[in-house]
Chains A and B, each alone.
Chain A
């Protein structure tokens, strides 16, 4: 297998044995899809007369797209960081996601009470 011309794989392509980084990547993707689903629900309501909801709906879809794109990049970073035996924890991404979800929930409460 290690014949002439063999090259060690790029650090970002040596997966961890338990595939933890892949499962975490998929969890981020599912969360992004969850945000997108809620954005779509708001857009659906926007088309049914509550035009105000189009703005938060589109913003959430944008945030969901950013989250999913970031998950892809973060996956490679995580795989590389694990090779270096460093912690892959990223408190900024966690804080951002938590803040976004909280803002969404408050917006949802406003929608239910006001519209």
Chain B
């Protein structure tokens, strides 16, 4: 709810940000170590998305079926949706951080680590439930 109440302000800020100059022209040339660290963090997120994506495809196409027919598809789609969320926001995240580094501002916060941790935990618990259901039913 808190998030919903903040939405208008977020949208206004987003609209204002659109008119700001691109990140590589604001502020001053930063310490190269910060830029490279930001770049490596971006790449680590991309690799996380790729790993989730590969896991999602593999769980549907390589794992033998659970006794619940739609279980594999639920796990696969959930993994890939998480991967899409990470990949689709990765450039904006890099750009906001690069801007903050150049302006000497504090780094903007992100809900993505919390979202990713929560998402993976939920998917793992679902997988555990599906396996336990299989064991209980004596399904191979």
Contact = CB atoms under 8 A, between A and B. Distances in A.
Interface stretch (B11-19, B91-99, B120-128): B91-99
> Per DSSP, are chain B's interface residues mostly helix, strand or loop, or mixed?
helix
Contacts of B50: 31, 34-35, 37-38, 101, 104
A24 B91 contact: no
Contacts of A89: 23-24, 35, 38-39, 98
Interface in A78-115: 78, 81-82, 85-91, 94-95, 97-99, 101-102, 104-106, 108-109, 111-113, 115
B58 interface: yes
Interface string B71-101: 0010011001101100110110011001000
A82 B32 contact: yes
Interface residues of B, number: 43
Contact of B35 (A37, A87, A101): A87
Interface of A: 16, 18, 20-21, 23-24, 27-28, 30-31, 34-35, 37-38, 41-42, 45, 78, 81-82, 85-91, 94-95, 97-99, 101-102, 104-106, 108-109, 111-113, 115
Given A101-B90, A102-B88, 16 more contacts: A20-B37, A27-B39, A28-B43, A37-B54, A85-B29, A86-B32, A87-B24, A87-B29, A101-B50, A105-B53, A105-B88, A108-B53, A108-B56, A108-B57, A108-B83, A112-B60
